[in-house]
Structure 1
Amino acid sequence: MSNLRETNNITLLGTAHVSKESVKEVEELILKKQPKYICIELDKQRYDNLVNDEQWKNTDIVSVIKNKQFPGLVMQVIIASVQKKFSLTTNSEPAGEFKKAIELAKQTNAEIILIDRNIKITLNRIWRKLTLFNKVDIITSFIFGSDDTELTENSIQDIMKDDVMELAFSSFKEKLPIIHKVLVEERDEYMANNILELTTNEEVVVIIGKAHLNGIFNKVKNNSNTHNNAELDIIPNKTLGTKLANWSFSILIIGLLIASFVFGDYNVGMDQLKQWILWNSSLAAIFTLLARGSFISAIVAFLTAPIGAISPALSVGIFVAFSEAIVKKPTVNDMANIFEDTSSIKTILNNKFLKIIVLFFVSSLGGAIGNIIGGSQLIKNLFF
């Protein structure tokens, strides 16, 4: 096999996550080596989802939003959707090689070792390193991106060389190299560290995506890594520049409102405040209704838009997404049809989960436009 690498008692196999051929290669290798340990490119969460589909499908999105895990879940959906797309194209089962490895581990009494980093940490590290414009670009490209590209045999072979998570963001490789660093390079180190911790003379078989094969092999062979896993598990704090950018417009609005009371009088200040709230709240509510949000969600948008404008940590989009999730109560079952449902605006809005994503961004956009118009009116009334 051209995708095999061996060093001492450790054999690494690079696979494609949507390939029948990789499933056969995994079976042949494990039956030949009869390893004591089988390391696979999964973390506990993805392992549980793989062996228990119902657990994933019945996830309560309300609790996900409440626990501030919504951005990570959105990115997981993008990855799962891309994986599903190519599994359909190649007529194979997503992550079939991992399922085969788990099945053979039970038959041969081998121990499964989960070597990958928690997917939430990986995605949170990416999310924290992206700017607001980067995030909007990724989400809108996923929801409204074209799917007209024909998949030829050669293009499929190129795809097989990629990591599924990296593949989901492949169009951003050039302008966002941080995605490749976090998805591939960091995880190479993380998985190599976990393999090296297996201080044993027993046979070890490692099943990983082709994108990680050479990187992990070189680190394992040379016993060399730059970071330990504790360092790679840290979610970076927001930079000072990001914090200032998030709060700059809020500080400006607050300053203008205070100035209205100081340099005008109470009545002038109240008129300015009412006018700003009306623009901010009304547009957030109108945009929510235009995206077919519920009447309750529109009311929530109206009431919380000023809060989101003054406090970036409490975005109107989060309030609207949370209220819509409570009213419609979607589960990850809706995500099973995401790939098919991104074909048109109508199907997007009929999918409960996709609709929540749209409402999150659309209500935030309405509030932002209202904030800009309202802020402009404050300046005009105060200085002109």
Structure 2
Amino acid sequence: MGSELGVEPGADMMAAIKKAEERGCEVALVDRPIQVTMQRFWRKMKFLEKVKMIFSVVLAIGNIGSFKIENFKIGRGAGAGREAGREAGREAGREAGREGVREIELDSLTDEDVVSELMEELRAFSPGAAKALLDERDAYIAGNLLNLHFRSKERTCTKKGEEHSLTKECTNKEGEGRKIVAVVGAGHVAGIKRLLAHPELIPPRSELVSLPKKRFSGRFSIKHLLGVGMGVALVIILLAVFFSGFSLDTLLRAFLYWVLINGVLSASGVVVARGHPLSAVTAFSVAWLTSLNPFLAAGWFAGLAEAHFRKPRVEDAKGMLSVESLRELARNRLFKTILVAALANLGSIAGTFIGIGVVGHELGINVQEIWEGLRALIF
């Protein structure tokens, strides 16, 4: 929407800063650094929430051409400190209104009921994401606003020549401090107001800026899991040789079928996605192992390889939802990385089921009878 209107993200904040500078006011950036927010956002999301988010993005992109934002007339900006927000909104509205194709009223987007409904939808979709993007930032911003308020009061008192902070000698009138105007997004207004009224609910700053520990860290890193998986596979092969009664040639032939079927199908997914050749080689190399290990997926490695050889750029993230054709989407490196990972995983899944049937036939095992027995046992 911002690109269609010719309005850069954060235009309301820039308008507020410009207004403050015109009036000679100090400016303080009170939001949490975006790097910390995004890292906490990603790590706090559960695996299924990440899958849902990726599929939602892909489905949204799949609706390319179903509608196109033409031109809008904006009546006002969003957030506290509405004077600066309205000014940014009027500027964008005047620019868009010159086109005159069609107009809609966007005031409803900042309506309290609409904003509350959108926030609840986000919490239902991903509680972890909502906590990192909304609740934690509300607390961080509220804490900074309170710090600015108390610092301002201290400065007002010490202007009298006293070397003390807020004491009984500093009257309420003297300690009122300067007014603070906060310009925030509409979704943060209610949460910040609640925390300003009850500052005891604000968690320590260290809790809001520290990074959650990775689920697979230390000895449980992906690298170690890969090594353990290869070791387990080798042990299984050796045990099969000694206790299964099959000849070594038969086992090696079955193992070769398993590697080829899983590898070829997983690499084919990368090729269909038009991934980098070395991403396809990566998928082929690990698919046989990831099919045996529930903690690993071939698409992870293929996606990482794709991101390494064709690094996504900032403009790829910005343009992912504004593309107008499938050809343009196919050139987007971020989308291609996601597509490579998804199709490599699909190929690996198909390879697992096909490989089980082929290996079972090679070893003289009736896979269908085993499956029927399991169904009878479970159901």
| TM-score bin, normalised by smaller chain | 0.5 to 0.7
Retained in 2: the 8 A contact 1:190–1:228? Answer: no
1:297-336 paired onto structure 2 within 5 Å: 297-306=279-288, 308-309=290-291, 315-325=297-307, 327-328=309-310, 330-336=312-318
Retained in 2: the 8 A contact 1:256–1:378? Answer: no
1:221 CA displacement? 3.1
Determine the C-alpha separation between the residues in 2 that align with 1:169 and 1:333.
27
Greater shift, 173-182 or 285-294, is seen at: 173-182
Does 1 or 2 have the higher relative contact order (CA < 8 Å, sep 6+)?
Answer: 1
Determine the C-alpha separation between the residues in 2 that align with 1:349 and 1:378.
36
**1:216 and 2:192 correspond:** yes
**1:143 and 2:93 correspond:** no
Determine the C-alpha separation between the residues in 1 that align with 2:357 and 2:117.
42
Determine the C-alpha separation between the residues in 2 that align with 1:345 and 1:258.
49
AA in 1 matched with 2:189: L
AA in 2 matched with 1:112: V
Change (3 A) 1:100 1:175: closer
Q: Unpaired segments of 5 or more residues in structure 2?
A: 73-102, 153-176, 367-379
Aligned residue for 1:230? Answer: 206
Determine the C-alpha separation between the residues in 1 that align with 2:250 and 2:303.
35
Determine the C-alpha separation between the residues in 1 that align with 2:3 and 2:118.
15
AA in 2 matched with 1:261: V
Change (3 A) 1:192 1:261: farther
Determine the C-alpha separation between the residues in 2 that align with 1:382 and 1:295.
36
1:287 CA displacement? 0.5
1:149 CA displacement? 6.4
**Number of aligned residues:** 293
AA in 1 matched with 2:284: F
Aligned pair partner of 1:364 in 306, 325, 345: 345
Retained in 2: the 8 A contact 1:272–1:378? Answer: yes
Per-residue CA distance 1:119-155 (angstroms, 9 max, x = gap): 3433333433444343222212212323646889888
1:256 CA displacement? 5.6
**1:117 and 2:99 correspond:** no
Aligned residue for 1:263? Answer: 243
Aligned residue for 2:136? Answer: 186
Determine the C-alpha separation between the residues in 1 that align with 2:142 and 2:121.
27
Q: Unpaired segments of 5 or more residues in structure 1?
A: 1-84
Aligned pair partner of 2:259 in 256, 277, 284: 277
Aligned residue for 2:269? Answer: 287
Change (3 A) 1:236 1:217: same
Change (3 A) 1:286 1:178: same
Aligned residue for 1:80? Answer: none
AA in 2 matched with 1:206: A
Retained in 2: the 8 A contact 1:260–1:268? Answer: no
1:290 CA displacement? 0.7
Give the secondary-structure state (helix, strand or coil) at the position aligned to 2:131. Answer: helix
Aligned residue for 1:101? Answer: 16
Aligned residue for 1:348? Answer: 329
Change (3 A) 1:267 1:197: farther
1:95 CA displacement? 1.4
1:16-165 paired onto structure 2 within 5 Å: 85=1, 87-88=2-3, 92-145=7-60, 146=63, 148=66, 156-160=106-110
RMSD of aligned C-alpha atoms? 4.3
Determine the C-alpha separation between the residues in 2 that align with 1:108 and 1:180.
36
Retained in 1: the 8 A contact 2:30–2:141? Answer: yes
Determine the C-alpha separation between the residues in 2 that align with 1:375 and 1:169.
46
1:164-203 paired onto structure 2 within 5 Å: 173-198=123-148, 199=150, 200=152, 201-203=177-179
Determine the C-alpha separation between the residues in 2 that align with 1:169 and 1:369.
38
Retained in 2: the 8 A contact 1:105–1:112? Answer: yes
Determine the C-alpha separation between the residues in 2 that align with 1:166 and 1:364.
37
AA in 1 matched with 2:252: M
Retained in 2: the 8 A contact 1:285–1:298? Answer: yes
Change (3 A) 1:214 1:272: same
1:285 CA displacement? 0.7
Retained in 2: the 8 A contact 1:121–1:235? Answer: yes
AA in 2 matched with 1:358: L
**What percent identity do the matched residue pairs reach?**
25
Change (3 A) 1:233 1:279: farther
Determine the C-alpha separation between the residues in 1 that align with 2:300 and 2:248.
33
For normalisation by structure 2, the TM-score amounts to 0.62
Per-residue CA distance 1:158-214 (angstroms, 9 max, x = gap): 43359xx99999865434333333322222112212222222223322111111112
Aligned residue for 2:84? Answer: none
Determine the C-alpha separation between the residues in 2 that align with 1:317 and 1:168.
32
Determine the C-alpha separation between the residues in 2 that align with 1:274 and 1:172.
47
CA radius of gyration, larger in: 2
Aligned residue for 1:54? Answer: none
